[in-house]
Structure 1
């Protein structure tokens, strides 16, 4: 292992290798938070619209409170109350320490919300057990067992969109918290899909958090599941959605940070676990529109693995999702081509240092990057998963 690392340190300056591409300082220069957050609107005609999300601030007194003697019994009730109050001013929901079981759906069209834990994130838990392999009818019965959603509720249309699906499985409806609200802020919460290790190592999507809208902020969060923990998405496949994630912990074993959004992860920790799947786990699966430059940026963060992977280092940093191309195979310029840069970050033990990027999820497209002089980093015929200026045992330099 030591010999392999020494060889990589020697060989993998920019441009790296086709299996492990490295950017030069000049190539890495455009990949900053300002670039990822610089545009809104349609992918085919982006609008210059700089977004500079400040740290999330919480009020001295929240508009709505969850928990305690006088608070709402769960977060969904507080969200419903905020939407019924209406208006355009930001509304705040404080969640007191405790465990709140059940889903939370935050629809589009309401006031911007700040939902935050009134205590340490580890003490404020939103959790539910849901597996994507169940049918939509089973999903509806499970999610709405206690009449959580009713006709006329703000989130009723979200619930119905999944309950009435005609697909064989619930798929990406299998999430604990699902947000379609623009300008949403989440801070200091633990969200867990408690399916965890109750299933085999097969395909069991079990989302903790799914966000679909522009200008979404997460700060000081803990997101825990196994497969597909956090979906940073865009509800409209033709339009840009931006997501800012700071100081957040994400745990999983398969594609557990994925989606179409332009997302920046700053000072976060991503932990690959082996309790359900003890080899070949993957952290990132971006699904970027093929002609859009900015998918995921991971900066000043930590990629680590548990003891199982440290003993047998087969973990992967990521892979392209290639969503929608299972029947056709990858179609250059048509199929999404995930973009990701991991920069200025710590890469711990447990990863395959020779080939840290896996073949694409949907098509099994082999990973291949350009390493020629003057390369086009957005060539649709190649992958767009890169590294720059990382450090640690699994770093390239």
Structure 2
């Protein structure tokens, strides 16, 4: 993952974006002002199926030449786009044709407008010329972004009368905006269809266009819109605009955030099925929602298991229209919320299983938009709704102190995991205190260690090694070797338990080296969800397998406690919706540092987001962080960003500090919209991100192509 040096800027915008990205687990921090550890666990987005393919170059476009096509190329639509009608059997795009890879506007237009079927892989950001250009797509096409690299800038696609069997997938389509919010002169849409049928729009990021992000007009039908991100737009998603009751449309698992109107607006649709969508209007931004889902004319709409957060007029209907609501959640909404009339049973047309409404915000913030697993030759691919492939899961490896499980220690269960295991192995640890050290080696990926109790306090893994503790074979453990739990395997998860180092500093003052790590990670894609990590100095070491290796860690709904450098290392790490508890030193004094990043210059460092900093310590006694140039390495660029968090009075008014002779001002330390008595205004000693800079320092920027999935 690359990173721009210096401050992040954004291009000109008509108004400010939302101030915080909602990624993670939507659980209230009910214990945020205490040191009581809660019990809630969260839920995440998507899983994937696996396949592989290859391609060879052929001029400016690339044609697939192997027999095995990637699985995403065989994906077909669900919802109304899957229904046989009008002579078309479902929606499968260009899978019967050649696969070509394009990086220029000329090539994209050449293949999209061809008569024969094509799978067109967009492998670059393609700028439309002139601005607002909409390529007139012909039937039997799949236009798909290659991982997250496919972008259409300043224009979009048009599907005319009779065009059918088209998939538009995994693209970012953006920025045809012409400076007028309610633009009447520029009909520049991301995707517009007039009289098309059997169209699947899936996993796209659609934003900042002059007119609609999607317009489904003039009796277009058999359309499914799924797993897309809609943002930063006025007239977002219009459906219908005809007197005929023809349009059949499914809109599911889409995230609408900071969009003013048409979310969507559905006019005279025969059957409109909207489910598992997330409509979000954050406070404090200048984009205000005027309404959410709108059933107009004679539309018959079924609206279920969707989540509305902060929306004005979340659900509205005309007197002649119908809306049947069931299972929806409304949080902080105001204005019209209407239902009435009779609609239809979607299951009489196609099968589907809605997700739980409570899971929708986390599921969609993690799972919408372009995927790195789609559009690539060797990537994995999801099913139409991109949920995890199901099938028979291996039975958990159970651990119990009393012998009622298969193992009595956690390490024994880890040892039983097959080397290079290809799929997830869950180690379920029954309540109890397990005094042991645990190491998950690099050749045992996809391991989950999960407490089986009702609370994260019920299952405790604890030991008391410190950096200066003597090893049985000679020497000392050192900081990294002192960890109670050491994780070196990718795709590791820990959930619903406590990991602690209870080294007693007061009783070991003669010992040289009091750093005592509770949890060390040196791997990529580590999810720590609903856990407690407890220690004093150097509690949580977030490292990477090597200096040139990426190591991403996502900590959510958790508690981390300590006093000196207790969140540290070179990993790209997010602490989200969690509680950071400050502790006094062994002698009762209050002084310390929360973070000590040692980030390489080309990586993101530590992001603390939507969290709480508290603890029974003196006011003005703790720094938010200091810059650790490990080994005196001047090439490092340590980074910590603390944003949208509540800071107690314990945080110093000058919250950053130098370390090892390096000035923190030469590295990357900043805050954004923190609150609480420990927050403060921007100054030379307290850098604050601007709104535009903050858009480049969000959870998604840290995690990149990884979408944590519990």
Structures share fold, TM-score greater than 0.5: yes
Are 2:496 and 1:188 aligned?
yes
Deviation at 1:30, TM superposition (A): 11
8 Å Cα contact 1:273-1:309 kept in structure 2: no
Query: Contact 2:574 / 2:608 at 8 angstroms: preserved in 1?
Result: yes
1:346 deviation in Å?
0.3
Which structure has more relative contact order (CA 8 Å, sep 6+)? It is: 1
Q: 1:351: how far off? A: 1.8
- 2:655 alignment partner in structure 1: 356
> Post-superposition shift, 1:200?
4.4
Deviations 1:306-327 (A, max 9, x none): 1x323xx2211111111010xx
Q: Deviations over 1:161-180 (max 9, x none)?
A: xx7xxx76633111100011
Aligned position for 1:74 = 409
State the alpha-carbon separation in 2 of the partners of residues 73 and 168 from structure 1.
28
Q: What corresponds to 1:318 in structure 2?
A: 625
Question: Matches of 1:393 and 1:258 in 2, distance apart?
Answer: 25
Distance 1:287 1:233, change over 3 A: same
Q: Is the contact between residue 608 and residue 642 of structure 2 (CA under 8 Å) also seen in structure 1?
A: yes
Q: Verify: 1:285 aligned to 2:596, yes or no.
A: yes
1:238-273 CA-partner distances (Å, limit 9, x unpaired): 111111110110110100000111111110111111
Q: Which runs of 5+ in 2 are unaligned?
A: 1-6, 24-145, 150-364, 368-386, 682-710
User: Cα gap change, 1:385/1:249 in structure 2, threshold over 3 Å: closer, same or farther?
Assistant: same
For 2:440 and 2:623, the matched residues in 1 are separated by 33
Q: Distance in 1 between matches of 2:564 and 2:579?
A: 16
Paired residues, what number? Answer: 307
Counterpart position of 2:486: 178
Alpha-carbon RMSD across the aligned residues, in angstroms, is: 3.4
Give the unaligned 5+ runs of structure 1: 1-21, 35-46, 142-162, 369-381
TM-aligned CA distance change 1:66 to 1:384, over 3 Å: same
Maintained 8 Å contact 2:505/2:514: no
CA contact (8 A) 2:656 2:664 kept: yes
Q: In the aligned structure 2, how far is the partner of 1:117 from the partner of 1:62?
A: 15
Distance in 2 separating the partners of 1:245 and 1:275? 25
Structure 1 residues 205 and 23: alpha-carbon distance in aligned structure 2, compared to 1, 3 A threshold: same
Provide the residue aligned with 2:471 in structure 1: 139
CA distance in 2, matches of 1:244, 1:192: 19
| Superposition deviation, residue 32 in structure 1 | 6.2
- Aligned match for 2:677, one of 378, 389, 393: 393
Indicate the SS of the match to 1:79: helix
1:365 matches 2:698: no
- After superposition, the C-alpha distances for 1:311-364 in whole angstroms (9 at most, x for unaligned) are xx2211111111010xxxx63xx2x221111000000111211x111112xx13
Partner SS for 2:545: coil
Structure 2 CA distance, aligned partners of 1:252 and 1:133?
Answer: 18
**In structure 2, what is the equivalent of residue 63 of structure 1?**
396
Closer, same or farther in 2 for the Cα pair 1:49/1:272, shift >3 Å?
Answer: farther
Residue 32 and residue 228 in structure 1: after superposition, are their counterparts in 2 closer, same or farther (change >3 A)? farther
Aligned partners of 1:395 and 1:317: how far apart in 2? 11
Secondary structure at the aligned position of 1:183 is classed as coil
1:1-397 → structure 2 map (5 Å cutoff): 62-67=395-400, 68-71=402-405, 72-83=407-418, 87-119=421-453, 120-134=455-469, 138-140=470-472, 170-198=478-506, 199-200=508-509, 203-276=513-586, 278-292=589-603, 294-306=604-616, 308-310=617-619, 313-325=620-632, 331=634, 334=635, 336-353=636-653, 355-360=654-659, 363-368=660-665, 382-397=666-681
Cα 1:303–1:62 shift into 2, 3 Å: farther
Per-residue Cα deviation, 1:175-230 (whole angstroms, up to 9, x for no partner): 10001111001001101101044344985110000000110100011011111100
Distance (whole Å) between structure 1 residues aligned to residue 513 and residue 437 of structure 2: 21
SS at match of 2:484: strand
Distance in 2, Cα, partners of 1:284 & 1:95: 30
Structure 2 counterpart SS, 1:258: strand
Secondary structure at 1:80 match in 2:
helix
Q: Structure 2 length normalisation: TM-score?
A: 0.40
Q: Distance in 1 between matches of 2:497 and 2:550?
A: 26
Going from structure 1 to structure 2, the CA distance change for 1:338 and 1:30 (only over 3 Å counts) comes to: farther
Q: Which moved more, 1:191-200 or 1:220-229?
A: 191-200
Q: Assess, with a 3 A threshold, how the Cα gap between structure 1 residues 214 and 126 changes in structure 2: closer, same or farther.
A: same
Contact 1:53–1:244 (8 Å) recurs in 2: no
Aligned residue for 1:39? Answer: none
Q: Distance in 2 between matches of 1:283 and 1:28?
A: 29
Counterpart-to-counterpart distance in 1, 2:628 and 2:516:
17
Question: Relative to structure 1, is the Cα distance of residues 32 and 237 closer, same or farther in structure 2, using a 3 angstrom cutoff?
Answer: farther
**Partner-residue secondary structure (3-state), 1:324:** helix
SS in 2 for 1:83: coil
Larger radius of gyration: 2
User: Quick one: structure 1 residues 28 and 261, their matched pair in 2 at CA, closer, same or farther if it must change by over 3 Å?
Assistant: farther
How many angstroms apart in 1 are the aligned matches of 2:537 and 2:17? 30
Q: Point out the structure with the larger helix share.
A: 1
Residue 580 of structure 2 aligns to a residue in which SS? strand
The offset of 1:391, in angstroms, is: 0.3
